[in-house]
Chain A
């Protein structure tokens, strides 16, 4: 493959990387917000992402598509449903599994193990439920008018799906920024992140803020689950693990606890991943295949963290959410 054709690959690769990165960013927010207020890595967040996505796929497949609603309305209802289901699961996880540990002042490692246990439990609970109704691999149903695509010029093809994901993803991130920076709830979340005890003294109900953080992170995760399924075609009960891990990585890369950091980290990770997947085999003439993209990306991550241990945007500032 000569140089100019390789160069022609750059625009679609960047586009695909941006979409993947946007999805990572949305999931990463769930990790980073919870970490911000509780210093807890909620490893079950990948499964919360999966639960919302699968629930929305079921709703689309069995209710919305048979009803024949307009595609954008379907997508909107699906997103709301995914957000509600994931928020409910995240809230339940916080209430049942994490809050008792917090109240009993369990050592920091304990909630981490709980989170891993919760993650496995959710995986197999979903597998069990889905297996009752046939195969548990849930393909994203075809929405005909979303299947098309248009040319952006220069041979760069953008599908309606990808366009929808870009628009919705950016809207979600903007909405979150507004929520955190401009509302009372956002102020409370930032206050708890800075100092939970002082917030209590200021009359903030910390439990409520923590629950709200889980719900918001869960809702974003659930919507990301639906968008992920829309872009890549399917979800199964085990599909949350890898995107969850990558999103967690993105959160650390951006500086865990920092909301802009999660967004930047997600985008950087997504773009690097797709870029290395495309160009590693070309540069090395097939010696290093696409399958080494994660090795390459995580290698870069190690390097970046050596020079910026706090992540790209994470400084040791007090503001943590």
Chain B
């Protein structure tokens, strides 16, 4: 890590040396993407950055016509709360930063958004499902999210497990992150309420690679389902070790495992009876989504991750909100609070569907899908799509 930091520092110094051109230019607005760009989760963090970058490049025209140049400023929160907070404390001092697209981890988004709210900086979340994100009153004026909520995603998964998979007993495992434990807890509650039996509910360390303790027990107790609240690196490993141990239970998780690398880690042959519930409905199936996927592939040379489209829409919302605020401010650089208010009122048709926010900052009706993960990620099938209104 130290090496990367030094490299970044060197680059920053290099950039700063040339920056009088920017410094004298008054009409710049910055949109920050704040997601993990190094460390184990950087693949998804980068997907957020790329999605937002594509939106800024394609939609900068409206602000350009108003005389403002939009600059995307990628920040690396390293999936670590204190790093996210430190970054936030630094870039809120730049008055030209008018919106944040981020984060990937709820555990980073929660403390970082407290910093944004102090200066009225709006945050649009493409990926945070934790309920506290919009449930807190302290940050209500600035925090918005485009994706669904844990407390809805968990019950969606539980409903699918009991109705479609006919599961009666389940193991519930979580990685002890805010996201993983929130999702697993919501699933467990709904699954029990539907009459299911949770015979084991455990947390695991987020660097754990050995699930033999849990799986040996599953080999004896034979639960119908193993539900995992967490992210794809461990989720994939859990599938692999389950199938190696001959555990026949179905496997289910949330959108943290929505990655093209899930199958690579789990091994294609092990992807049997594997499902996940997600708030990011595969964009390739929507008319506007197909163009997005094609553009993204052309620009970055790889397929978008689940959250790329939400990051794209988050940046679109930010651009629209800033443009509206500029107009309302008579063409001058608006205050952050004006931008935050305008962002809350944005209505547009994005690549993920029609977007409008409720007073809490949640998107009015989020879509949720249950997907069957197939041996090849391109064959993943949407089994069920539900549109559920965010609870107020």
Residues of A whose CB lies within 8 Å of any CB of B are: 1, 5, 8-9, 12-13, 16, 20, 117, 120-121, 123-125, 127-128, 131, 134-135, 137, 139, 142, 147, 149, 157, 159, 161, 232-234, 236, 238-239, 241-242, 274, 277-278, 281-282, 286, 289-291, 293-294
Contacts and interface: CB of A to CB of B under 8 A. Distances in A.
Contact of A123 (B1, B202, B261): B1
A124 B3 contact: yes
B80 to A, nearest CB: 13
B203 A291 contact: yes
B214 interface: yes
Contacts of A125: 3
Contact of A157 (B221, B240, B245, B267): B245
B233 A236 contact: yes
The majority secondary structure among interface residues of chain B is helix
B268 interface: yes
A294 B216 CA distance: 18
A247 to B, nearest CB: 14
Contacts of A274: 210, 212-213
A227 to B, nearest CB: 13
Contact of A233 (B200, B201, B202, B240): B240
A22 to B, nearest CB: 13
A293 B208 CA distance: 11
B241 interface: yes
B87 interface: no
Interface of B: 1-4, 38-40, 42-43, 176, 200-205, 207-210, 212-214, 216-217, 219-221, 233, 236-237, 240-241, 244-246, 261, 264-269, 302
Given A124-B3, A137-B40, A238-B40, A12 B207 contact: no
A233 B209 contact: yes
Nearest to A127: B38
B243 to A, nearest CB: 9
Q: Choose among B2, B205, B209 the residue with the greatest number of A CB atoms under 10 Å from its CB.
A: B209
Contacts of B219: 12, 157
A289 B202 contact: yes
Contacts, number: 126
Given A5-B221, A9-B220, A232-B237, 12 more contacts: A9-B217, A120-B1, A131-B42, A134-B302, A135-B43, A135-B264, A137-B40, A233-B240, A233-B265, A277-B210, A286-B202, A293-B213
B244 A236 contact: no
B217 A124 contact: no
A290 B3 contact: no
29 contacts: A1-B217, A8-B220, A9-B216, A9-B217, A12-B212, A12-B219, A16-B210, A16-B213, A120-B2, A123-B1, A128-B3, A134-B302, A135-B43, A135-B264, A142-B268, A233-B266, A238-B40, A239-B209, A277-B214, A281-B200, A281-B217, A286-B200, A289-B202, A289-B203, A290-B202, A290-B213, A291-B203, A291-B208, A293-B213
Contacts of A13: 212-213, 216
Contacts of A121: 2-3
